[in-house]
Structure 1
């Protein structure tokens, strides 16, 4: 088997419309296997992810996105002699938010949501590959620096801001006729991010996740 590199891993992820969002050195850390050298966070690669996912056997059943993530990322981990970790399935839950901040490619945004250098506030982490190889992407420039930060004022009811997320206020707004836009097209705060606007995520995908979020609330 060829030695694992970021280029080879990228090639393995492409058929699944996944990409490496970032990674960090986890060697010797509690909570990781003794053999682990790096943890790489994976997320959807656009354009094309949503159409690909809807064509998979998990679609139409319960929790199709999570079940697909477990199958695909779990199989990749096994094939690479590593281990898969997921941000769902708990409690307990792995600290994916903190892991993302360690990558130097995902940051805490002005509204406390994670923001990615090329995906903006649309970033979504489907899982992590814990690998025996020391792989890490270089740090990137935080997109919020020099940005007018329209995300801060985008929420009509101020549910998302520097103080965090007022979930009850968000659900209450989504119950109103005025909340239809967020339910149908995705959170206005996420859409307001200039980087998000350049990321080819379909409104249908955002509507799906908003609908599930609101029903679960």
Structure 2
């Protein structure tokens, strides 16, 4: 029996990269897993079939979580399918990188809609159906603490907002026995930021451990925060960044 046996986990943005590793770990720890994804439907369905083939109960839901109505409908589908919700992991996000004077007029609204509003609405909706022992875990970014280059003002601002949101959720939900925590990865070897990509060497320059992290390492930290062992951990920010912030 895994640490999450009998639990239901919802992973928003859970089919690729860090999100896929988290979905796999939730399933291997015994949870039934609902996964919300945006696009690349064939790949997403193949991923769902992979988890199902390993014995996991899986519910795949396509939705644009930047749209509040689509997001809440998707969460309703997950709860209806499994009958409960115990763990919410917000992974989906986007980066818009631009010189300060060249951001598109809608850049602020677009990035905050996905990186801040969506995790807030998901936490608000999910916490309404969670029982004591519920877990809300948000994946942010180490750039919330340290911005190493030009062009990332909006991205850094959106990720920094998640720290305050997490601390507020911890206060709002603590009396109900629901925890809220934030995970801030540094450079992680994924399709979006490959360890052999054109920016990889520069990404490793600030690190104490001179390599990219792995998606499975992030998933292991999330698994701890989702587990019963983390019942007294809330409102915390965990950097998993190879010493980027040291």
Q: TM-score, normalised by structure 1?
A: 0.28
Q: TM-score, normalised by structure 2?
A: 0.26
